[in-house]
Chains A and B, each alone.
Chain A
Amino acid sequence: MLLQLKNIKKSFGKVEVLKGITFSLDEGMILGLIGENGAGKSTMMNLLGGIFPPTAGEMFLNGETYLPNSPIAAQSKGVAFIHQELNLFPNLSIAENLFINQFPKKRFFGVSRIDKKTINVKAKELLGQVGLTMDPNKKVEELSPAPRQLVEIAKALGANPKIIIFDEPTTSLSHHEAKKLFELIKKLKAQGIAMIYISHNLDDVLKLVDSVAILRDGELVRMDEKKSFDIQTMVKEMVGREMLEFFPGRMKKIGKKVLEVENLTAKGFIKDVTFHIKKQEVVGFYGLVGAGRSEMVRVLYGLDRFDSGSIVWKGELIDKTNPVLSIQRGIAFLTEDRIEEGLLTRMNIQKNAQLAALGHFTKGLLHRINRFEAKEKVKEKVYATKTKYENLTEQLVSTLSGGNQQKIVLAKWLLTDPELLILDEPTKGIDIGAKREIYGLINNLVENGSSVLMISSELEELMGLCDRIIVMSKGKITASFDKSQFERNTILEVALHKQTAIL
């Protein structure tokens, strides 16, 4: 037995986040750890990774007591942690990132200096282990997300780990890149390294792991071998109830075209993109990371410029577009990066929710704000999104959970009464309960006359919600499927093989 946890408890203030966790991990074993947001996954991993100590309970590594007081202490004991947010310094080279804390040194007139030759050799060796063949002197800022992830893993391997913890490693990877990562994980498993794999993507978990552990409300509700699980049972254990009708249906009455995009081109990003969206239609965009989907909607919304092509909004040719005009036209845009582009984290819920619709609550030359009206309207929408909160005007939005934060961002856009809602990865990193509520909100909006353009990396989600799925690859649209044609493997294949254009 490599790692053993006995009755581990952790409290923050009065809140008990972990209520006595007991489990063990063997050499060369991959454990999938799943649970809704707030179930205690991160807390548990932070305990293992040495970010903070447990309140009670014992941990053993190789039979010895294991109580790391820092990430470095954990690393030196052989526990490496690959965070969802990579811990790399883009301004330094790959090699420097690999050795940031223990540069090989040599003496030079009694002065210890970095040994650049040894570093290069060692770095190449480590990069080789993860299948990277690039120059270690390249700066990390020049790398795209997938190789960055591999550099992070190489860094972990440099410390000869016995256990590697992966926290949502595939969120910024394409399907193909994720597949390569899985191969690497299996290779490491063969070398006897044990791994804990945390993910919301249950398909991946089932494909990859040996055993599954499910956390709910700080308790380990079930841990068993993989073969005793399927998606349905996993979901059921995670939320503690059956999830019937995961994708609720909606009334179908698709109307006239509201948005027509023709030959839209932004050099270096997208090329000759042509599609349309009808009233009360949900159109999904699927493709690899970097296929140009986010770039395309940013151009549509007016955040980035386009070079040629035309955008027709409700029969009118648009020659100029920016966020202010878009909001006036009734277009709303929920971005992928919630913290950096969606929220004002150090402000209260009210200020966050009212921001985009402020124009509705002002009057006169000085744009005086009607606070009472603003508060009533926000309250209404926040109630509609089923956000759990304590106080609209006192509580900072940063104190909400990820799912509730996303609902606030959604409420912000719903307050602008959008006719077209653009959603970029709206359920990224959100637990299943909140996901389902967001799906319900989307359906509600569409039934009330709006249209939705939705980007997602989860194909199931698109297939469950959309009337049409458009696939993009390398900045171009390569295929389009109507609901009747939805078939998982076909869509995946088109997304992966760029040249099989059906359109």
Chain B
Amino acid sequence: MATKEAEEVYEKKVLDRVSDAFVDALANLFDKIRPGWKVRNQARVDEWKLMFYAFNRSPIGIAGAVLVAIFIIIAIIGPWIAPFSYGTSLALCNQTAYLAHPGTVVKIPKGCEALGVKPGTYRLILGGDSFGRDLFSRILYGARTSFVVMILVLLVGPWIGVALGLISGYYGGAVDETIMRITDMFLVFPGLILAIAFSAVLPSRISIFLKDHPWVGSFFLHLFALHPTERGALASLVSVIIALWIVWWPGYARLVRGMVLSEKENTYVEAARALGVSTTSILFRHILPNILGPILVYLSLDSGGVILTEAGLSFLGVGAVPPIADWGRIIYDGSQYFPSAWWLVFFPGLAILLTVLGFNLLGDTLRDILDPRTRRSIEFRLKKKPKTKEEGEEK
């Protein structure tokens, strides 16, 4: 039904066709994994398509998605496309790249291979820093650091909160009281200070752990695209991740508890209980799917938050240790030469700004789209335009 209406109402744009193809491909994939899925979930597929139509008609959302996509692509391929490694000091190749202005051209002579640099002429697009390193390369590497920290934090921290919120909201009573008071304790401390405290305490233990389990260290080295020589600096990076887990759950516990409280008042939860459905089933089959939308929105908004916090921590000297490339660290190092070497602060700052902005724009749009009430208004608002003029012109 939904597709029929959608086709009649919307004049499809190129983006809509792309998103349609994407959704169809996804549906076919599911159908292959579980035969019959497509027939049973046709309505859901149509709903997804409709969500994409709404998204495609939100310029802000598309802008956000583009920014986020650029960030993710850079984070993944950045270390490969960077002309130099994050730690390479061009000064060692007899090139004076100390605080080089953006656009400075350097000539790398033969005999620098030991540093991992091929001979040739390079333009330092964004200039060089006080150690003679290429800022552009460091920013590309820094994207990887931020991205990995963000993913690892969001994969765990919020879900601790979601689980506690579900339990707390559904059972209520003493369980609720206990969990919520603990949550309050965490919430009254400013997150950044708590994270600093934890990242100061944790590294010694983590380095012992990493020594005992070298493969974990190697895994992280690859993840962060670091040289094996940086093995010793891993402990502080990992401790930042763990510190952020610890400070990142209370907000979610609060949020989810509130949503569970309102969701469990719905009759269908009581109806499920009357049918003899077990509590776990009710929590995971009924309540969680129904509150997943807002959680996803928060995750998206929080992605920017994690990046910002992580940058803040390294700016304060916690976490990424030199020479690891990290946006916050780059700004800290560059701030000593501000404003004469403005580019050392400006470009990494811009990178943080655009990334966080991208996640926020995306999150805001997702909120509008995942909420059925506002989605209708978006769809309505954007539908009317092609109906009157553009349709006639195109035909």
Asked whether A and B interact, the reply is no
A-to-B contact residues, CB < 8 Å: none
